[in-house]
Amino acid sequence: MATHSDEFHRRAGTSGIRSAFRVPGRFGTRRPATATEGPPQAAQADQAFFERQAPGTVAVRHDGVRLAVPGALGDLRALDGENPEFFDRRGGSLGQLEIQGVADTPLTCSLFAISNLSKVRGGAYLAVWYLTRHTIAPSFEVQSVNPDTLGRLLKRLGMKLIPATSNMAGATAEVCEAARKKCQRHHWRLRDAAVGI
């Protein structure tokens, strides 16, 4: 036996009233991507922007301050002995971002310490973003974390203390996304949106 509410739902679904409010391409409906389409315009703009920057630049802040990494982009081994460095708009050094003890294995990307040796804010978030963006390891770990300083920052990225240690760990993809958002809140334009990176 059909009830009044069954009748109402059946008629509302076929009346066209509901579909009148749905506009193709808006409100959650997406046009399927085709293989012939090129990269999105935003990615093309980012690629062009970073091609105009000095070699090794991975992040640029709204005021022209930039972070450059040693070696080839994404080569985490280049961080062994050399540090990423901040530069002002004119190319003057603003200090380094010291990243010690980077170990990138297929299972875990880990490091011993991050020290912002500059007065540029948000350096730890940039370091974590860069490392998690360029590793294939599913887990990211920072060893010997001081809970009062770096520990608070890493906790904001979703990392958790490993029991019986002072190490913190998290899922690489989740930590990367959280670090990206923190960097963007500090007005950094990141190279990870560029095509081919």
Beta strands across the sheet bearing 93-100: 113-118, 93-100, 85-87, 66-68, 57-61, 188-190
- Domain-located, residue 141: yes
pLDDT value for 99: 95
- Domain-located, residue 14: no
Strands (E), 72-112: 85-87, 93-100, 103-104, 108-111
Total domains in the chain come to: 1
Query: How many other CB atoms are found less than 10 A from the CB of residue 184?
Result: 15
- Domain of residue 178 covers 39-193
Distance CA 114, CA 97 (A): 7
Instruction: pLDDT band for 45, please (50, 70, 90 cuts).
Output: confident
pLDDT value for 88: 95
- Domain-located, residue 3: no
**Domain CATH for 119:** 3.40.630
**pLDDT mean across residues, the chain:** 83
| Residue position matching structure tokens 């997406």 | 30
Instruction: pLDDT band for 40, please (50, 70, 90 cuts).
Output: confident
**pLDDT of 195 over the 70 cut:** no
- Domain-located, residue 20: no
**Phi (first) and psi of residue 96, to 5 degrees:** -115, 165
**pLDDT of 34 over the 60 cut:** no
**Residue pLDDT, tens place only, 68-105:** 999 999 999 999 889 999 999 999 999 999 999 999 99
- Domain-located, residue 12: no
- Domain-located, residue 5: no
- The CA-based angle 169-174-178, given to 5 degrees, is 100
**Residue pLDDT, tens place only, 121-176:** 889 999 999 999 999 999 999 999 998 999 999 999 999 999 999 999 999 999 99
